[in-house]
Amino acid sequence: MQLMKYTTEWWGYLSNDSKYRGLDLLRAIAILAVVLWHYDSTSVRVGWIGVNLFFILSGFLIGTILLKNFDAGRFNYWGYFSNRLLRIYPLYAIAIGCYLLQLYLTGFVTDIGALGRMAASHAVFLQTLIYDLWGIDLPYYVVTWSLVVEMVFYATIPLVLFALCKARIVWLGLLALAAGFLWLRFSIIATLNPVDPNWHFYYFLRPYFRYDELLFGVAVAYAVHRGLWALRGVLLIGGMVGLVVICHYIWNIPKADYFPSMALLTWETAVFPTLLASIFAAIVYGVYDKPWSCAPVNIIARLAYPLYLVHMLVIPLSSGWASYLAISVAISVVASYAIEYPFIRLYKHARTPVSGTGQALGTA
């Protein structure tokens, strides 16, 4: 009886509409773009921009949670951040365990000490920063770079946004931060060898290279919070036109289908995060509250986080598009049911005003 009740509750979570139905469609498109691109970047040359969209979704939803709690005077940092960890960490930890086991069984890494160091760096979300900090060059589960960016954002944005709200300089502060990160990217790239893509890739996945994209999502949240609606239609049209133009441009870049794609660019590597963040922010602003409803879309959107974590592990096990997608979805459904949802249920049933009850990858 309890199992039946749990299963019904889980299915409702998976298939029912969320508060922001317009974002469910964007989330579903984003995860499909990333999953398909990782399998065949030649056929889906622009699929990597799905992660840029995820960053805007995360920034918007976390910003919305924080602004509501700031206004109500009931924000508690440790409650907020512990719920972030509770939401993200269980499935993440198991995915990392599977990744390390895969490395060991395939003979890619057999040194137990190296595996231990890799486990430790992943455990504290330092896998993309460990070389910067200690000069240690270790493999890491590649898709988790975006979670490092998001965890840095989750840890710091309450302090940043609270300070900007208190000083009443939210717009000015967000603009200054966006300009500062853009300048930082150009400054870093100016020191690199333009024909060596390895350094571009090295920096491109770092939190300090991508943090500002989430700030664009926070800016949308602030606009919604302040009730600024006048330009939504114009911005949505501009965002859609901009998306078509930039996708056409990326598609025709020589070697755009090379992994890791955008990291092979030169000056575009610096400007594209800002440009894509602006485009996706305009689109999110225009569609976040659209009353769209579609159960299959909702299911894909709810499976975004487990799909993101497992799909790269599935590639070596698959023999074509059909098996790749079928195995990825099947594992994601099991992971959602057995690992992810029990923890969602745990903090939803004990929800506090500062819970921030969402998942990584734009489903806060």
Q: Rounded CA gap, 144 and 98, in Å?
A: 13
| H-helix or E-strand spanning residue 305 | helix 304-314
Domain-wise residue ranges, the chain: 9-349
Give Cα separations from 243 to 131, 247, 267, 277, 284 (angstroms).
Answer: 35, 6, 19, 11, 12
Residue 355 is predicted with a pLDDT of: 47
Q: Rounded CA gap, 84 and 356, in Å?
A: 7
For residue 269 the two structure tokens come to 């590597």
**Residue ranges in the chain whose pLDDT is less than 50:** 352-357, 364
Contact 75, 158 (CB under 8 A): yes
Residue 357 is predicted with a pLDDT of: 47
Contact 128, 207 (CB under 8 A): yes
Let me know if 104 is exposed, middle or buried by CB neighbors in 10 A (0-12, 13-18, 19+).
middle
Tens-digit pLDDT profile for residues 11-44: 999 999 888 999 999 999 999 999 999 998 888 8
Residue 292 is predicted with a pLDDT of: 87
Taking the CB of residue 105, how many other CB atoms lie within 10 A of it?
Answer: 9
